[in-house]
Amino acid sequence: MNDLVISAVEAIPLKIYGDTHFAISEGRANAHFAVLLILKTDDENIYGFSEVACAPPGKPEEIPGEIISAVENFIGPALLGTKTTHLNQAMQLVQKSIKGKNWTKAATNVALHDLWAKSQNQSLLTMLGGEVKSRIPVIGDVIGIMSPDAMAEIAAHQVAMGITTLKIKVGETIAADFDRVNAVRQAVGDHVSIRVDANDHYVVAEAVTLINKIEDCMIEHVEQPIGRFDLLGMRNLKKKVCIPIATDDMVASVEDAMNVIRLDATDRIKIKVTKHGLTNARAIAKMARAAGLEVILGHVFQTGLGAVAEANLAASCGEIRCVNEIGSLGPIGVKDDLISESLRDEAGYMKIPTGPGLGVTLDWSTVDKYRYDINGKF
């Protein structure tokens, strides 16, 4: 199997509808768009796969049409003929083939890892050096922007099910967002950790006011309270508040992470396998911890295929010490998945299947159910 090469690359657009709308400051949606990326070999039983997520809802970073075009016209041709064991060479070819496209390249990196491990008949966790933690703690489904009472009710339900870390979305007005945070804290008591995410909504002065106002609510951190490009504003904000500040959108690359660290613009850095790939996510995690920052393993809307890739990183990377935000489609009410395996048998924890590669198998009937015509309206 060491001589296997990549013989074809396929990109399948997916559109997954739920029965619930999920809202953040940037938009609302009840559908998840993604592209299933498949790296094939001459052995039809050995192929790597991953999910290119289009997120966040209402304001996607990359859209299916451009992802598929990038794969079919640039990334795919660059990879043809590459040995499945030559992971570093393959990623160099990908980087040289097209600029930008961080999310598409991240998924390509995951699919290459999956294929690399499968070609050796090993689990990806083994190929990554084995686990440093056997249980992977995770948050519950992210609670989108709703009325304070509705958010409090969902939060209380999650805690009753065994979840001990919650994440809630804000991003409307200072008064309304305070009411949301306060209602959730009152509903769950003092023993539950609460993370707040404003998705770039505020300017510095407004963010300072809100963060100081919710200080008594014992918040673990506030994520991306101001715009992603205002690094100096984040640095200024961080000095004026007591609640730790986390950044997500400011870190699209390893270079971005270095700039955030150099400017002392955050207390915590969020990494996403869906945005950074396994290679760069691990590099950013090590860099952040070396600088004394905590690392959050984040998420977007994603199927179990995206989640299991992040779980492999969580299990194998000692620098990731916080409870993980590994995503799901639960917030929009989707029950089925692209994979056959269950990843969440225990509330508040995720497990990794033990098969070759990512350890999961595609449920092709579900894939076919959610395929859609890329020429249709996004």
Q: Are 112 and 234 part of one and the same domain?
A: no
40 touches 7 (CB < 8 A) = yes
Q: Specify if 356 maps to a domain.
A: no
Contacts of 194 (CB under 8 A, 6+ apart): 165, 166, 167, 168, 181, 184, 185, 188, 217, 218, 219, 220
Q: Are 78 and 171 part of one and the same domain?
A: no
Mean pLDDT across the stretch 329-340? 90
199 touches 26 (CB < 8 A) = yes
Mean pLDDT across the stretch 166-178? 97
Q: Which of 306, 301, 304 is nearest to 51 (CA)?
A: 306
Per-residue confidence band for 179, with pLDDT thresholds at 50, 70 and 90: very high
Q: Phi first, then psi: give them for residue 138, nearest 5 degrees.
A: -135, 160
Q: Are 228 and 115 part of one and the same domain?
A: no
Residue 188 has pLDDT above 60, yes or no: yes
Q: Are 260 and 170 part of one and the same domain?
A: yes
| Domain tally, the chain | 2
Q: Are 160 and 231 part of one and the same domain?
A: yes
The SS3 assignment for 306 reads: helix
**Cis omega before residue 77 (within 30°)?**
no
Q: Are 172 and 40 part of one and the same domain?
A: no
Q: Are 291 and 164 part of one and the same domain?
A: yes
- What local confidence, expressed as pLDDT, does residue 1 receive? 55
Q: Are 63 and 160 part of one and the same domain?
A: no
Q: Are 217 and 79 part of one and the same domain?
A: no
The identity of residue 277, as a single letter, is G
Domain that residue 307 falls in? 127-350
Per-residue confidence band for 333, with pLDDT thresholds at 50, 70 and 90: confident
Mean pLDDT across the stretch 333-349? 90
User: Which domain CATH number covers 37?
Assistant: 3.30.390.10
- What local confidence, expressed as pLDDT, does residue 323 receive? 94
Per-residue confidence band for 377, with pLDDT thresholds at 50, 70 and 90: low
User: Which domain CATH number covers 274?
Assistant: 3.20.20.120
Q: Specify if 378 maps to a domain.
A: no
| Terminal Cα-to-Cα distance of the chain (whole angstroms) | 40
Q: Phi first, then psi: give them for residue 216, nearest 5 degrees.
A: -70, -10
204 touches 179 (CB < 8 A) = no
Q: Specify if 209 maps to a domain.
A: yes
Q: Are 38 and 158 part of one and the same domain?
A: no
Q: Are 147 and 291 part of one and the same domain?
A: yes
Q: Are 304 and 341 part of one and the same domain?
A: yes
